[in-house]
Amino acid sequence: MSEQEKRVGVYVCHCGHNIAGTVDVEHVAEWSQHLPNVVISRDNKFMCASTGQEQIEEDIKEFGLTHVVVASCSPHMHEKTFRNACARAGMNPYLFEMANIREHASWVHPNDRDGATNKAKALVSAAVHRVIHHEPLEPMQVKIRPETLVVGGGIAGIQAALEIADAGYHVYLVEREPSIGGHMAMFDKTFPTLDCSACILTPKMFDAGAHPNITLLTYSEVEKVDGYVGNFTVRVRKRARMVDEDLCTGCGSCWDKCPIKVVDDVFEAGMGYRKAIYRPFPQAVPKYPVIDVENCTYFKTGKCRMCEKVCPTEAIRFDMEDQYVDLEVGNVILATGYKLFDCRRIPNYGYGRLENVFSSLEFERLTNAAGPTEGKVVLRDGETVPESVAIIHCVGSRDKNYNEHCSAICCMSSLKFAHLVMEKTGAQVYNFYIDMRPISKGYEEFYHRILSEGTTFIRGKVSEITDAAHAPDEEGKLIVVAEDTLIGKQRRVPVDMVILAAGLEPRADSQAVGYMFGVGCGDTGFFTERHPKLDPVATATEGVFIAGACQGAKDIPDSVAQGAAAAARVLGTISRREVALEPVRASIDESRCSGCRICNNMCPYNAIDFIEAEGVSRVNPALCKGCGTCVAACPSQVITGAHFTFDQLMAEIDGILVDVTGEMPLVTEVI
Amino acid sequence: MSEKPKLALYWASSCGGCEIAVLGLHEKILNVAEAFDIVFWPCVMDFKYADVEAMDDDSIDVCLFNGAIRNDENARLAHLLRRKSKVMVAFGSCASGGSMPGLANFTDRDAMFDWIYHKSPTTDNPDGIVPMKHTDVPEGDLELPGFWHTVKTLAQVVPVDYFLPGCPPEASSIEMAVNAILTGQLPPPGSVIGPDVTVCDECPREKHEKKIKRFYRPYEIIPDPDTCLLEQGLFCAGIATRSGCGARCPQVGMGCRGCYGPNEGVVDHGAKILTGIASVLDAQTPEEVDAILDTLPDPAGYFYRFHLPDSLLRRRARANGEKIVAPASEAAGEPA
Ligand SMILES: Cc1cc2nc3c(=O)[nH]c(=O)nc-3n(C[C@H](O)[C@H](O)[C@H](O)COP(=O)(O)OP(=O)(O)OC[C@H]3O[C@@H](n4cnc5c(N)ncnc54)[C@H](O)[C@@H]3O)c2cc1C
Ligand code: SF4
Ligand code: SF4
Ligand code: SF4
Ligand code: SF4
Ligand code: SF4
């Protein structure tokens, strides 16, 4: 089709008052009539309404439009809507272009009608200039394997795995620790109902362990991911347990007799010990122990083998080696959870220095009936019952020095702690908070319950926790120094015990894990969802979903909901059997590629391979997301981004530089 | 009257290397002399501008024009030769992209004169004399060609049919162009005569994925003879530069300077070198990026060495934001 034969239709949307309240929409539509190749230009109250869409369809037929421009909201909102309208009228949907005159014009210049109108004209002009360079594109269809990989066996991952397995499809559940369960397995009671964590979690863990459609890969990690939606190949490293799972009955003789005691930093949060051969907790799934080779005497000195001697089924295997398992899956759900903020980073709170300052997870273990004190709330000495306890909210959260975000759960866990401390010790409890944020169902009621139980709430950020007494009643105590903002006074509250409600942070390796799966991490380091409101469990990589606290700080109900939501998304793609991939992607003109390999490590999705034999680089179209990084990087300019070609971008720039006031093209004469 | 096609060669703002390159054809220069009737070549033979003015329009078959346009005289000859020639070839990097003279666009005429005629440590100019277009002497008015604020490429001043890049063009490139002209097997007008791949394509060095922690000046390291220089931290513009030279520089351990200009279809040579270089920095933070770039002296000079005037930047604005006001003739690319 020659340039002159191209026939463009332009539709300028009022969006009610959203656009028309600021932009002179009728004028923009009228002005656009004179842009090159435009045969019809209209304004419309709501383009996305069925009448607006039908108008496009009718015009395509009546005026023989070859290209369409809609000037309205963000393409994130309605690009699909209008592409579909074009497709219904028989036009290739990629011959459509959208100009965003709402977010980019009316909303950002609410008090400048002329300016916003001119900007809208420039944006329409850019779209019209660009669209005539658009080429028809066809999506690529790929088959979906029905197997799913779930990474992380916390409550979110378990929920997701069970949903998919119950629907009849196979799941590989990969967990780094010797047992699934995640953080929830560490708790005694859960807010706001105070029901026993183990009682509600262990049945699910057991189901996941026994489900015919779930293959558990614990003590394992994903090493490598290749492929694309529907067809991922994943390499999992199963660390050697040194215990033969086929023989071990989980009787516990080995860890009973093992002479080596190790501080358990993971499950016991450093509060208790485990053996060198251990199972993190009695309800662990699977029930088999692992040998911690770094601490085992045999691995260190070649002597001991006590566990081997006592094991009735001869299950100990000192020569076991790591195994690699290659999996083929269609979809992936990341549910890797969070890590607790390290309270040592706030030195003036004394954690690690003042012995009776506890982190929240430490307290969870302290209060847990299966924990190191069998649930007795006592000081570090293991016996003294505190008479007064301070609970500090927002530790490492809502603070520009550490994490700007609110960790969402710590107000509630702090209230839970207040209740548990009072219940178990009768101590006087002080909760130091900045704002109280018990926002979910039943949470405000829980707050009122704790208020009525007699906890003292002090509104103010704690500046310091110290053991330097200023008065006789502070002697031998921890003094919590804070400004009470409700009475406008500095306060010093002497207590026996302090609990720091530490915030939730992304896993230390979240960047690396995200990179491996093609998932970005936002400013906070939590995995980035495709859309924060409308697509919270999908990611920028097709076929990779996120659930639970790895996506952002959240409580158990929300983690479970996301686990189930991610499972539903996966089941959706499985039942479609194939997915259509966006055709917006890069391709390399291999006849002109110099093989310089600049692009090779640029692709965030590992979509570029170097073909050694031919000395050229090649894009795997199923992996490419069309991000454009390589297109910009290629110094030979032989990579083209479909739908973002050089011609299209240059035309768009030409279009935006049109003089919107005098209808004369801008002269950019240089001396 | 000879039946041979008529050839003109001219030298505008350039170093003279292009002229030497033509002579550098060695015995093949005789073929040129045999094939063409050389009607104008002031560097080698005595011609006067008036001789050219006297010729009929379009009477010269091919004009090989080297050098950038930086003063009224350059522009006058560009217009004159364009009028008289059927085919105008921008010969060499200065005519094609502005090249070394074009780096003057990083400054302006006043600043340059100030340095050259007043401030430079080697200047001895007690009377503060500065070249001027007109000087009154007892014998009358002496005129010098007006010196422009901005260096331009030949194509920014007159329409150009073909471009032959190189600083100077290699003998093989010249031969290719001359043969194409003689046999009439020419690409569409406006084309660059040369391959459409980059120097890396011709460079025999082994290429790997590149990540560098710093740049080295050539004297600082002895590079591995078989591995890509850029990977070893030596600046090499071969990634973004049109091939045709046979990768002569990288083959002897000297990074490509970029003289054959941007690859086919590229608008801004410097920007492409920049994106290529930026892609190999092994840095996670802006500070690390800065630290690596600190080891690359004069990046703008490196990136835009051969194509500043025809880049998207074209020239630097005055530091104080003041507009550079050039005479209308200069703005229009014409002699005053
Ligand atoms: C002190 C405290 C008290 C709390 N109390 C409550 C409460 O009472 N009620 C409530 O609703 N919420 C509570 N929460 C919040 C609750 O812990 C979380 O909402 C929940 O644990 C999130 O579940 P998850 O599955 O997303 O993450 P996690 O529980 O963190 O599980 C993630 C799992 O993934 C594994 N993993 C991580 N990385 C990898 C990898 N690369 N490969 C393989 N496996 C990996 C981990 O080992 C872990 O098993 C509390 C939190 C804290 C800190
Ligand atoms: S061999 Fe290692 S794991 Fe077994 S009992 Fe001895 S120290 Fe414990
Ligand atoms: S949930 Fe409460 S304690 Fe936790 S960061 Fe948010 S406001 Fe602070
Ligand atoms: S456009 Fe290039 S860098 Fe981006 S995903 Fe595709 S191949 Fe990778
Ligand atoms: S950057 Fe361009 S020229 Fe270099 S290997 Fe990649 S595609 Fe080829
Ligand atoms: S040395 Fe230069 S020309 Fe040769 S491969 Fe490396 S970057 Fe390319």
The per-residue pLDDT for range A189-219, each reduced to its tens digit, is 999 999 999 999 999 999 999 999 999 999 9
pLDDT > 50? residue A603 = yes
Cα(B196) to centroid(ligand 6), Å = 16
pLDDT value for A87: 97
Q: Taking residues A299-303, report their average pLDDT.
A: 94
Q: If you count residue pairs, one on A and one on B, with CB atoms under 8 Å apart, how many are there?
A: 78
Residue B6 has pLDDT above 80, yes or no: yes
A485/A535 same-domain check: no
Ligand 1 contacts CB of residue A19 (under 6 A) = no
Task: Count how many Cα atoms sit within 13 Å of the Cα of residue B69 in the half-sphere of its side chain.
Answer: 27
Q: What is the mean pLDDT of residues A499-517?
A: 96
> Are A646 and B265 in contact (CB < 8 Å)?
yes
Architecture of domain B6-101+149-192: 3-Layer(aba) Sandwich (3.40)
Predicted confidence at residue A522, as pLDDT, reads 84
Taking CB atoms and an 8 Å limit, are A635 and B149 in contact across chains?
no
In a domain, A658, yes or no: no
pLDDT tier at B39, thresholds 50, 70, 90: very high
Helices (H), A33-186: 50-63, 75-88, 113-131, 155-166
Q: Which atom of ligand 3 is nearest to the CA of A409?
A: 1
Does residue B321 have a pLDDT over 80? no
CB-based contact (8 Å) between A632 and chain B?
A: yes
The CATH number given to whatever domain includes residue A333 is 3.50.50.60
Place of tokens 């991000």: A627
Give the domain range for residue A76. Answer: 3-137
Indicate if ligand 1 lies below 6 Å from the C-beta of A184. yes
Q: What is the pLDDT of residues B43-93, one digit of tens each?
A: 888 889 999 999 999 999 999 999 999 999 999 999 999 999 999 999 999
Residue A85 lies in a domain: yes
Ligand 4, closest atom to CA A623?
5
Distance CA A48, CA A84 (A): 11
| Mean pLDDT, residues A333-356 taken together | 97
Residues A495 and A401 in one domain: yes
Residue nearest to atom 25 of ligand 1 (CA): A154
**pLDDT, average across residues A123-132:** 98
Higher pLDDT, residue A443 or A664: A443
Quick check: B196 contacting A, CB < 8 Å?
A: yes
Token pair of A425, please? 């010790």
The whole-number average pLDDT for the span A145-166 is 98
Is the pLDDT at A665 greater than 50? The verdict is: no
How far is the alpha carbon of A669 from chain B, nearest alpha carbon, in Å? 8
pLDDT at A441 over 80: yes
* pLDDT(B236) > 80: yes
Q: Take atom 6 of ligand 6 and give the residue whose Cα is closest.
A: B228
More confident residue, A669 or B65: B65
Asked if the C-beta of B314 comes within 8 angstroms of chain A's C-beta atoms, the answer is: yes
Mean pLDDT of B145-164: 95
pLDDT at A667: 42
Domain count, chain A: 4
User: Of the candidates A600, A633, A646, which has its C-beta nearest B209's C-beta?
Assistant: A600
Assess whether A43 and A170 both reside in one domain. no
Task: Please determine, for residue A402, whether its predicted confidence score (pLDDT) is greater than 80.
Answer: yes
Grade residue A501 by pLDDT with cuts at 50, 70 and 90: very high
pLDDT band at residue B319, thresholds of 50, 70 and 90? low
Which residue in chain B is spatially nearest to A671 when comparing CA positions? B331
User: Which atom of ligand 3 is the closest one to the Cα of A435?
Assistant: 7
Flag if A636 and B208 touch (Cβ within 8 Å).
Answer: no
Q: Distance, in angstroms, between B11 CA and closest chain A CA? A: 22
Q: How confident is the model at residue A579 (pLDDT cuts 50, 70, 90)?
A: confident
B116 touches chain A (CB under 8 A): no
Residue A34 C-alpha, separation from nearest chain B C-alpha, in angstroms: 29
| Mean pLDDT score, B327-335 | 85
Kindly indicate the confidence band of residue B316, based on its pLDDT and cuts at 50, 70 and 90: confident
Nearest Cα to Cα of residue A507 among A274, A341, A670:
A341
> Are the beta carbons of B239 and A670 separated by less than 8 Å?
no
Residue A154 has pLDDT above 70, yes or no: yes
Inter-chain residue contact B272 with A635, CB threshold 8 Å: yes
Query: Which segment of A562-576, B58-72, B173-187 scores lowest on mean pLDDT?
Result: B173-187
Q: Quote the CA–CA distance of A49 and A70 in Å, as a whole number.
A: 13
| CATH 3.40.50.700 residue window(s) in chain B | 6-101+149-192
Tell me how crowded residue A153 is: count the other CB atoms within 10 A of its CB.
Answer: 30
Distance CA A583, CA A600 (A): 21
pLDDT given for residue A666 in this prediction: 42
DSSP letter at A561 equals H
Asked if the C-beta of A594 comes within 8 angstroms of chain B's C-beta atoms, the answer is yes
Radius of gyration over every alpha carbon of chain A, rounded to an integer in angstroms = 31
Find the closest chain B residue to A634 by CA distance.
Answer: B276
The CATH number of the domain where A84 resides is what? Answer: 3.40.50
Average pLDDT, integer, range A96-123: 97
Over 90: is that where the pLDDT of B31 sits?
A: no
Q: Across the interface, which of B150, B265, B276 has its CB nearest the CB of A671? A: B150
Which of residues 248 through 307 in chain B touch A, CB cutoff 8 A? Answer: 263-266, 272-273, 275-276, 278-280
Residues A372 and A518 in one domain: no
> Which among A556, A576, A596 is the end of a domain?
A576
pLDDT tens across A357-388, in order? 999 999 999 999 999 999 999 999 999 999 99
Give B229 Cα–ligand 6 centroid separation in angstroms.
6
State whether A670 and B265 contact (CB < 8 Å): no
Which DSSP string do the residues of B57-99 spell out, in sequence order? TT-EEEEEEESBEEEHHHHHHHHHHHHHEEEEEEEHHHHHH-H
Instruction: Name the residue among B150, B200, B326 with its Cβ closest to that of A595.
Output: B200
pLDDT band at A600; cut points 50, 70, 90: very high
**Complex ipTM over 0.95:** no
pLDDT over 90 at A300, yes or no: yes
The residue whose CA has the least distance to atom 2 of ligand 3 is A411
At residue B2 the predicted structure's pLDDT band, cuts being 50, 70 and 90, is low
Least Cα distance to A565 among A146, A213, A156 occurs for A156
Contact (CB<8Å) A646/B211: no
Q: What is the arithmetic mean of pLDDT over B266-294?
A: 95
Average pLDDT, chain A: 95
Helix (H) or strand (E) holding A242: none
Q: How far apart are CA A101 and CA A323, in angstroms?
A: 56
| pLDDT at position A619 | 96
Pick the more confident residue, A53 or B182.
Answer: A53
Of B209, B266, B279, the CB nearest to A637: B266
In A485-634 the beta strands, taken as DSSP E runs, fall at 489-495, 497-502, 504-506, 544-546, 578-581, 586-588, 608-611, 616-619
What is the residue-averaged pLDDT of chain B? 92
Q: Across residues A112-137, what is the average pLDDT?
A: 97
- For the segment A274-293, the average pLDDT, to the nearest whole number, is 96
A670 interaction partners in chain B (CB closer than 8 Å): 150, 314-315
* Out of A595, A633, A634, closest to residue B207 by CB: A595
Nearest to A245 by CA among A217, A203, A264: A217
CA distance B200 to chain A (A): 6
For residues A471 and A527, state if they share a domain: no
pLDDT of residue A580: 86
- Please give the Cα distance from A665 to A658 (Å, whole number): 5
Is there a domain that residue A611 lies in?
Answer: no
Q: Which residues line ligand 2 (CB under 6 A)?
A: A 258, 260, 276-277, 291, 296-298, 304-307
Q: pLDDT at position B54, please?
A: 96
Q: A399 and A353: one domain? A: yes
Q: How confident is the model at residue A270 (pLDDT cuts 50, 70, 90)?
A: very high
**How would residue B1 be classed by pLDDT, with cut points 50, 70 and 90?**
very low
- φ, ψ of residue A342 in degrees (nearest 5): -80, 110
Residue B62 in tokens: 């091919």
Residues with CB under 6 A from ligand 5: A 588, 593-599, 617, 634, 636, 638-639
Looking at the structure, do residues A17 and A31 belong to the same domain, yes or no? yes
Per-residue tokens: B11: 């030298």
Same domain for A275 and A226?
no
Region A598-625: mean pLDDT is 92
| Ligand 2 geometric centre to CA of A304 (Å) | 6
Q: Is residue A316 part of a domain?
A: no
Q: Are residues A478 and A571 in the same domain?
A: no
Q: Are residues A476 and A527 in the same domain?
A: no
Percentage, residues of chain B above pLDDT 90: 78
* C-beta atoms of B198 and A646 within 8 A: no
In this structure, the answer to whether residues A399 and A269 fall within a common structural domain is no
A259 and A346 belong to one structural domain: no
Contact A388, A496 (CB under 8 A): yes
| B207 reaches A (C-beta below 8 A) | yes
Measure the CA–CA gap between B61 and B67, rounded to whole angstroms. Answer: 20
